[in-house]
A = this chain, B = another copy of it.
Amino acid sequence: MKELSTAQDLSSYIDFAAHEGKEITLVGQIQNLRVLAWGGFVILRLPNYLVQCVADATKINMPLAELKPEATVRVSGTLVKANIKDVAMWPREWEVSIASIEVLSMPSEEALPVDTTKKELSCDLSTKFDYRPLTLRHPRERAIFRIASTVYNEFGEALARLGFTRICSPKIVYSGAEGGANIFKLSYFERQAFLAQSPQFYKQMMVGVFGRVYEQGPVFRAEEHDTSRHLNEYISLDMEMRLENGFEDIMQVEAAVLKSIFERLQRECAPELALLGVTAPSIDKIITVTFAEAHQIVLDQTGRDCRGEKDLDPEEERVVCDYAKKTWGTDFVFVTHYPSVKRPFYALDDPANPDTTLSFDLLFRGIEITTGGARMFRYEDYLRKMKARDMNPQLFESYLQAFRYGMPPHGGLGLGLERLVAQICGLANVKEASLFPRDRKRLEP
């Protein structure tokens, strides 16, 4: 038997101010190396930092030239004041004056296939994804995924503070939620099964249990098309809640959650935002326009008449966003009351106009990032709507149980993590906000 200490400081966060002028030992990978006649610089990548270390050739224990980018080293030295200009560095007020370096691990390859030491990764998207274990080590890539981590976490924590309970629904399912052909099939022992396109059915069932639930997990869409807006596997941030006042409750909760996310980004990801040259958006008001008004805005702004269409196309979404920014000074606009024919069977029709639904999309900087709305909650309504759509209720028996045994008025939303992060970071392609994207052709790494 051996007993390990529980007294150690296990955090990788460093109180640099408290270490100023003192000895410090850091273990990290070498992001970059500049060997000069007098010594040089070792830029050390740590879990939460990129620390500049300065070597005096006459004082350190080994020639810097023996090191390589991506080696793991233990650097000992003194933390001293600095004034670093490079926005990739964090911290920028301190650097380490190196006393000694110990090599813990060296890369096998002589040359890296993509140069991660440059300010920008100068390779095309396909190469960037082929060499993901390496290219993700670039500071800009790290910044994107530190932001993604923070967005993900604050979505959950903000909802938990509002009384929501986290759920984990199965991803291997017996029937699709959204329907259609875009579903991956698999063999589950003797049976045919599917990969969940969304946690829709489960989060609705769970509203009957907890009243307010959320889930954060992968969803799978076997979409044939390969665009800059789509992934075949992505992270869906989902919530579902009882409605006490109306479907506006959902938009109010979403706005509050987004506000928490952006405030936390400003607090915790300032270096990452600065490196990417972007600022966290703000959502201080909740602006809604109806679907009909959105078409009217497009007509007024561009002369394009789409009022007969049952959906907004990407160009229309951009026009509506530009108009909202110009007119109401907001990056966010909720488009409400989409036509019933374009919404899933579980959408709740507007009693005042049954051709439309009490639903919304949230547009952010030109792109739809959320689809949400109120759902039907009466068993009889489900049977009626399924019949009208030629669906077989028997295939949905366990889902319909929830409604037979009583469900509150409720609704919810799904938010695509990668889309939201791509828009925050100003990325042209949503795939850049996925660590290991899955698309029509890509299954590796």
Contact surface of A with B, Cβ cutoff 8 Å? 1-6, 8, 10-13, 27-29, 45-48, 68-72, 74, 104-109, 112, 130-134, 136-137, 141-142, 145-146, 148-149, 152-153, 156-157, 160-174, 184-189, 191, 193, 195, 201-202, 205-206, 208-212, 217-218, 220, 222, 224, 232-233, 235, 242, 244, 248-249, 251-253, 255-256, 259, 284-289, 293, 328, 377-380, 398-399, 401-409, 417, 434-436, 438, 440-441, 443-445
Q: Is B162 a contact partner of A4 (Cβ separation < 8 A)?
A: no
**When A107-B404, A233-B171 are in contact, do A165 and B47 touch as well, CB less than 8 Å?**
yes
Q: List 6 A-B contacts (CB under 8 A).
A: A28-B211, A105-B407, A153-B160, A174-B445, A189-B441, A217-B217
Q: Is A403 a contact partner of B1 (Cβ separation < 8 A)?
A: no
Q: Is B165 a contact partner of A146 (Cβ separation < 8 A)?
A: yes
Tell me the complex Cα distance, A162–B13, Å: 7
| Residue ID in chain B nearest A248 by CB atoms | B4
| Residue ID in chain B nearest A210 by CB atoms | B47
Tell me the complex Cα distance, A29–B206, Å: 13
With A153-B157, A184-B188, A398-B445 given, can you name 12 additional A-B contacts, CB distance below 8 Å? A3-B287, A3-B288, A4-B252, A69-B406, A70-B208, A134-B402, A136-B208, A145-B209, A170-B438, A172-B233, A186-B195, A188-B232
Interface hub of A45, A169, A444 (most chain B Cβ within 10 A): A444
**When A105-B406, A205-B445 are in contact, do A440 and B189 touch as well, CB less than 8 Å?**
yes
Contacts of A244 in B (CB 8 A): 27, 74
Tell me the complex Cα distance, A134–B406, Å: 9
**When A105-B378, A172-B438, A205-B133 are in contact, do A287 and B163 touch as well, CB less than 8 Å?**
no
Contacts of A288 in B (CB 8 A): 1-4
Contacts of A47 in B (CB 8 A): 163-165, 210-212, 242
| Residue ID in chain B nearest A251 by CB atoms | B4
Contacts of A70 in B (CB 8 A): 208, 405-406
Q: Is B149 a contact partner of A406 (Cβ separation < 8 A)?
A: no
Tell me the complex Cα distance, A171–B219, Å: 9
Chain B proximity of A137: nearest CB distance (Å): 5
Name A211's contact: one of B46, B165, B408 (CB within 8 Å): B46
Q: Is B45 a contact partner of A211 (Cβ separation < 8 A)?
A: yes
- 6 tightest A-B CB contacts, nearest first: A398-B445, A107-B406, A12-B163, A70-B406, A47-B211, A133-B402
Contacts of A209 in B (CB 8 A): 133, 136-137, 141-142, 145
Contacts of A405 in B (CB 8 A): 70, 107-109, 112, 133-134
Tell me the complex Cα distance, A184–B186, Å: 7
Contacts of A445 in B (CB 8 A): 174, 201, 205, 398-399, 401
Contacts of A444 in B (CB 8 A): 174, 398
**When A233-B170, A417-B168 are in contact, do A5 and B252 touch as well, CB less than 8 Å?**
yes
Q: Is A328 a contact partner of B212 (Cβ separation < 8 A)?
A: no
Q: Is B186 a contact partner of A13 (Cβ separation < 8 A)?
A: no
Tell me the complex Cα distance, A248–B406, Å: 51
Tell me the complex Cα distance, A341–B108, Å: 27
Chain B proximity of A100: nearest CB distance (Å): 16
Q: Is B152 a contact partner of A166 (Cβ separation < 8 A)?
A: yes
Contacts of A406 in B (CB 8 A): 29, 68-72, 105-108
Q: Is A1 a contact partner of B289 (Cβ separation < 8 A)?
A: yes
Q: Is B152 a contact partner of A153 (Cβ separation < 8 A)?
A: no
**When A157-B157, A218-B168, A406-B105 are in contact, do A212 and B3 touch as well, CB less than 8 Å?**
no
Tell me the complex Cα distance, A333–B238, Å: 37
Tell me the complex Cα distance, A25–B390, Å: 41
Name A205's contact: one of B108, B132, B157, B187 (CB within 8 Å): B132
Chain B proximity of A234: nearest CB distance (Å): 9
Q: Is A8 a contact partner of B218 (Cβ separation < 8 A)?
A: no
Chain B proximity of A415: nearest CB distance (Å): 14
Name A1's contact: one of B45, B232, B328 (CB within 8 Å): B328
Contacts of A434 in B (CB 8 A): 168
**When A46-B211, A184-B186, A256-B6 are in contact, do A443 and B191 touch as well, CB less than 8 Å?**
yes
Q: Is A149 a contact partner of B163 (Cβ separation < 8 A)?
A: no
